[in-house]
Amino acid sequence: MGRMLNSEGFRGMVKTVLDFLIAGNEVDAMYAAHSWDELNVRNKISVLREKGWNILDREADVEKGTPYKIYWLDLENPRKDDADEQ
């Protein structure tokens, strides 16, 4: 990771989500709804992935109820285009 990661070029909630992930945090729909009043974090993740950010996900272990996804940025390889350069 030779360059600084930043959310330059993004605005609004997409920038908020990216800044949060760059800081090494994980986010899920419940956190986004409670912390930012964001009801569609999946859309923001989709936008970031389309722009080349390497955002990973996993399903949370839910004993009862509907499973949900947790998202995080692969800090070892944060940009998909970085892998192409190596």
Could you tell me the maximum CA-CA distance found in the chain, to the nearest angstrom?
44
d(CA 54, CA 59): 17
pLDDT of amino acid 4: 81
Q: Which domains does the chain have, with CATH numbers?
A: 12-78 (1.10.10.10)
From first to last of its 86 residues, the chain has per-residue pLDDT tens of 446 899 999 999 999 999 999 999 999 999 999 999 999 999 999 999 999 999 999 999 877 788 899 999 999 999 987 654 44
